[in-house]
Amino acid sequence: MTRGSSKAWIALGVGLVWFYLILWPLMGITPEGLQFIPSLVVWLKVAAAAFVLVSLNQLRTAGALAFIGKPTTAAWTEIRKIYKKVPVRVWISVVFFLALVFPLTTGRYEKDVVINVMIYVCLGLGLNIVIGLAGLLDLGYIAFYGVGAYTYALLSVHFQLSFWLCLPVAAVFAAVSGCIIGYPTLRMRGDYLAIVTLGFGEIVRLILNNWMSLTNGPNGILGIQPPGLYWPGFSSGLTLEYIWLKKLNYLYYVILALVVFTIIAVHRLNYSRIGRAWEAIREDETAAELMGVNTFTLKLLAYAMGAVFGGLAGAFFAARMRFVSPESFTFLESAMVLSMVILGGMGSIPGVILGALALIALPEAFRGFELYRMLAFGGAMVLMMIFRPSGFWPAKRMGQRSEERG
């Protein structure tokens, strides 16, 4: 047992003692008397699981798992090499093709989950502009999602406007609310920004819930039209009849188009002059200001651009659910989108996509756990953050010195 491995066992032992110290009072102290059995049972299960994990880890470090370890690492380096050789454009088209074929081969549930993932990819990429690029900690991003959703909902229900017409309108409304929310925060830095944006998020949610005349309050808005399309109907000669894209397959392609648009737009923004100015603001706002970067307008622009994608995703969400209620726009949703951006890898488009996949697919994967679902999800978030602090796929440009690029 080398020194390193005994340290791991000691840590495991201490950890398990602490765990029992915390678990037992919650389960063991009852008015009838002190019980130990229920808490011991839970403790033993956790201890066994931890024991297995640590011993696996020990074996890995001691190289005993070489027969699995070596080929997997070899394969992984192989993939990495291929990935580097093959131009990125090829990879993107492969992924795109897979995305196109996906709905034809899967059941409703998988399509629904992937549609949700894609909505959150749009949200994540939007928030990524605010946090990943401009470095503004925004805890109320879901407000724009709500504004977009309610804009389309109201326009569709009251004025029967088509989805495609309302998309830009929702985006504009979201951008305007982005500026309204952004303006007061311009002079603030760091965590003061967080609480102000959090406050705005809550204000928007409360207004949605309480302004009965406009938003019908907690009852939400019903009967929103799905996106429609003029499709060459062969039934009565070559006429263009208007069909409602209600089926999941059609909705899938609408959101796929939206995601592709978002990725292209965010990509171009990343590498544009504005993108670099945002990164300058993120790295050191005062230095950026000294170099003539007009931080006020650019920060507002960051909020507005982020809000645009939030609004678009909101409009699609309303069209897809055909019902909108304030319960979908809580602070927890903002926290989820924030986690996706950071967990996936700040500032990197593939990272945010991976983050969205993880944080939407994971709770669905844990659906079998019923009551333990959210417990496992919270635990997974902590573990993912500890093992990948800079995210699954961190951005290459993120704060790297030139020599480290090598």
Partner 1 sequence: MEPVLELKNVSAGYGRIQVLRDISLKAFPGEIVCMIGANGAGKSTTLMTICNVVTAARGDILYRGNRINGIKFSKLPPMGLCQVPEGRRIFPRLTVQENLELGAFFRKDSTRIQEDLDMVFDFFPILRERANQKGGTLSGGEQQMLAIGRALMSRPRVLLLDEPSLGLAPLLVGQIFNKITEINRQEGTTILLVEQNANVALKVSRRGYVLETGTVVMEDDVKNLLQNPDIRKAYLGE
Partner 2 sequence: MKRFVLTVSIAALASVFLMTGPAMSENLKIGSMSPLTGPYAADGNDIANGVRTAIAVVTAEGGIPGFDKIALSPQDTACDPRQSVAAANKLVNESVSAVIGAYCSSSTIPASEVLDEERILMITPASTNEKVTERGLKYMFRTCGRDDDQSKAAGKFIKDYLKAKTLFLVDDKTTYSQGLADNVAKEAKALGIQVVGHEHVNQGDKDFSAVLTKVKAASPDVFYVSLQNSASGALMLIQAKRTGIQAAILGQDAVYHPQLIEIGKDAVESDVRICGYETALLSEVPKGVFHRIRRAGGVFHLCLRQRHGLF
Partner 3 sequence: MDYFLQQLINGLTLGGIYALIALGYTMVYGIIQLINFAHGEFFAAGGYMGVILLSYLAASGAGPYVCLAGALILTMGYCAVLAMAVEKVAYKPLRHSSRLSVLISALGMSIFLQNGLMLTQGVYDKAYPTQMTQGSFQVAGLYISYMQVIIVAVTGILLVALNALVFKTRIGKAMRASAQDKIMSGLVGIDSDRIISLTFAIGAGLAAAAGIMVGFYYGSVHYGMGFVPGIKAFAAAVLGGIGNVTGAMIGGALIGIIEVFAAGYLSSEYKDVFAFVILIAVLYFRPTGIMGENVDDTRV
Within 8 A by CB and 6+ apart from 319, the residues are 152, 156, 163, 224, 225, 226, 227, 251, 254
The window from 107-115, 170-178, 222-230, 397-405 that contacts partner 1 (CB under 8 A) reads 397-405
The residue from 166, 308, 342, 354 that contacts partner 3 (CB under 8 A) is 342
Nearer to partner 3, 202 or 289 (CB): 202
Which amino acid, 246? K
Phi, psi (deg, nearest 5) at residue 233: -85, 125
Question: Is the CB of 254 or the CB of 302 nearer to partner 2?
Answer: 254
In angstroms, the CA 192 to CA 27 distance is 39
CB atoms near residue 374 (< 10 Å): 11
Q: Answer for the pair 321, 368: CB distance below 8 angstroms, yes or no.
A: no
Smallest distance from partner 3 to CB 162, Å: 34
From the list 65, 390, 393, 397, which residue makes contact with partner 3 (rule: CB under 8 A)?
390
The answer for residues whose C-beta is within 8 angstroms of residue 126's C-beta and 6 or more apart is: 141, 144, 262, 266, 305, 306, 307, 308, 309, 310, 313
* Binding residues among 30-69 for partner 3 as defined by CB under 8 A: 30-34
C-beta closer to partner 1: residue 32 or 404: 404
Asked whether 145 and 178 are in contact (CB, 8 A), the reply is no
The binder of partner 3 chosen from 9, 102, 250, 377 (CB under 8 A): 377
Of residues 248-267, which lie at the interface with partner 3 (CB under 8 A)?
none
* Shortest Cβ 204–partner 2 spacing (Å): 14
Give whichever of 370 and 403 is closer to partner 1, judged by the CB atom: 403
Q: Is 27 in the site for partner 3 (CB under 8 A)?
A: yes
CB of 224 vs partner 2, minimal distance in Å:
11
Cα dist. 280→61, 127, 267, 303 in Å? 41, 18, 17, 16
CA dist., res. 381 & res. 387, Å (int) = 10
What are the structure tokens assigned to 174, written together? Answer: 């979201």
- For the segment 257-276, give every residue that binds partner 1 (CB under 8 A): none
CB of 94 to partner 3, least distance (A): 31
Site map 129..148 versus partner 3, x via CB under 8 A: --x-----x-----------
130 binds, among partner 3, partner 1, partner 2, none (CB under 5 to 8 A by kind): none
CA distance 278 to 301: 10
The distance of closest approach from Cβ of residue 189 to partner 3 in the complex, given in angstroms and rounded to an integer, is 6
| Smallest separation, CB 371 to partner 2 (Å) | 6
Contact map string, positions 342 to 381, toward partner 1, x by CB under 8 A: ----------------------------------------
The rounded distance, in Å, linking the Cα atoms of 307 and 133 is 14
Q: Which of 298, 335, 361, 365 binds partner 3 (CB under 8 A)?
A: 335
Residues within the interface to partner 2 (CB under 8 A): 107-109, 111-113, 116, 206, 209-210, 217-220, 222-223, 246, 317, 321-323, 325, 327-328, 363-364, 367, 370-371, 373-374
SS3 content of the chain, % helix, strand, coil (to 5): 75, 5, 20
Secondary structure element (H or E) that encloses residue 240, with its range: strand 239-244
Mapping DSSP to helix (H, G, I), strand (E, B) and coil, where does residue 162 land? coil
- Tell me the number of residues near partner 3 by CB under 8 A: 58
Closest contact distance (angstroms) between CB of 338 and partner 2 is 17
What tokens appear for 253 in the block?
């392609």
Output 131 or 336, the one with its CB closest to partner 2: 336
Site residues (vs partner 1, CB under 8 A): 401, 403-404
